[in-house]
Amino acid sequence: MSGAGAPTLTVDGTGLKVVVIAASWHTVVMDGLLAGALRALAAAHVDDVTVVRVPGTFELPVAAQVAAENGADAVVALGVVIRGGTPHFDFVCQGATLGLTDVGVRTGVPVGFGVLTCDNEEQALDRAGLEGSHEDKGTEAAEAAVATVVALRALRPAPSRVSA
């Protein structure tokens, strides 16, 4: 199982602004991923959450870029791509992965990667955080995004205080 060895993240996201961007394909899977992300953000005390739906997984990077440029402390990107009989799967997966990585590196805003890349619908459902699923990748992506914001605070200098 791919979730073996995953860390348990307990984070406090009080005061953070998080944008969750969710693709629209594969409604049942996406609804599970989104519900998991929202549960994780609520558990982390993140009150400022905006959910944006985009057509598909390929559109996640551009939406993440705009969110990062407009004040999001973290972005959670959720999508699912199921392998078909053409190379389309490879192009979408690579474009989304490289695009989301690029957004995080260029902006310094953490992007939680909740994109499922599965061979079939059964694998996607098993990772969607639904009743009977073995994994909850929406929760994991949200926890990772918030935990990374907290970790980066230790690397960034505190704002200087000027005394009058």
1 band by pLDDT with thresholds 50, 70 and 90:
very low
26 in a structural domain: no
Query: How far apart are alpha carbons 36 and 107 in whole angstroms?
Result: 25
- Does residue 32 belong to any structural domain of this protein? no
Q: At residue 163, does pLDDT exceed 70?
A: no
Domain count, the chain: 1
Q: Which of 26, 45, 88, 134 is catalytic?
A: 88
- What one-character DSSP code corresponds to residue 85? S
The residue range of the domain holding 87 is 38-53+73-150
The verdict on residue 162 lying in a domain is no
Residues of the chain above pLDDT 70, percent: 91
- The answer to the question of residue 30 being in a domain is no
CA distances from 54 to 48, 59, 63, 65, 94 (A): 20, 6, 8, 13, 18
User: Could you tell me if residue 60 is inside a domain?
Assistant: no
Instruction: Flag whether 63 is in a domain.
Output: no
CATH number at residue 140: 3.40.50.960
Give how far Cα 11 sits from Cα of 95, 114, 155, Å.
Answer: 30, 18, 17
26 annotated active-site: no
